[in-house]
Structure 1
């Protein structure tokens, strides 16, 4: 039976039962400690303290990505759910803002290397559909205006930074991406829209419950700065106004 919980001071819990717990992770928070990082707070420890029991993350979200993050509440459940992710049977849907006007729908089929020194890339596919497009009155280079798309991205494989790398591959870089993005567009969003975050959000996960004969869909709606940017840019609401 699903346990209904009220919002906590730290995380909004979008689902919890005796085996699973899913939260709406804010951006700029790592899932767990990294040897290379200097962060002092992590989703694993914060959720453990919030619900009073140990948790196991069953997938990853980049530090800069917000949205649905799923944990298991015991090792056996973590293994069972992890097998679904490994089999690529979990439906993952993301929202992103990218430069330019993408096609109405499409699929990016481009191998991605696990690391820079790898000899070959691993097969990787990302489906997408355009949800909205906008043209804003800001000059850039030889153009008098700039164009952006709001997309739903569906990674069909689970490579590191897959969505960010795939949209870079088709020259529709994600806004706010300081690793694979376009610095000119990132600066524009900072200066004119006050947006300093990566515009990538894990909107939903759909998977088979590991012990109950049913599918579950976990969803987290847009919030904070992402919502404001979408409203102003794609709703064409005074987009030229300084933040």
Structure 2
């Protein structure tokens, strides 16, 4: 994702992202198998007992991991851009030590030294200015605090991008994601004393490209800056599905490849 984004464009994109996720709040969980797989990889990096720790779940969505963090004993602040997602999260986490805050990760409303731990799974790809973002996240950590995050890297959904290119080259139809070098640079300038980054490739298999796009719509990951909405007609989607067939594997399945970064920063 390009780092040089004018403020008006960035604000417009964030509003559209929030609206897309709000629309998907009720369907998210049934389409979020990949998101849960990645989140559990991140959760496995944490101690089982988080008793007494103040934890920020940045981009909490419907609260699946908010709940798990709270059940480990953490005092969790669930933070998200979408009102509807926070409402589902609040319903899921009733009677748990969770507070709720709406906002943009690139404009955090928290004071410095507020959290022992920040957990953020597959949210940072929606942010533009990585250097400022990482610095602000480290600032709200307490001394010795830790940020653990996952985010998508450039090269994710390469098959879908290729299929769309066969149908329409004029518009962008798959989001561009951060480069690993940009994440390394942001981490090195963040003020963290330790940083570890791990790259993973995760491939899901689908029966059709339309099934994949239904999953993306179901979780709300539909906003692509500059895309023409007129090109999502059923006829066009069938053309994309046909173009996707060149990626079919020996089992007759269509792969969707994700490039994932798991990051750990310690203050």
TM-score (norm: length of structure 1) = 0.27
Higher relative contact order (CA 8 A, sep 6+): 2
Higher helix content, 1 or 2:
2
TM-score (norm: length of structure 2) = 0.26
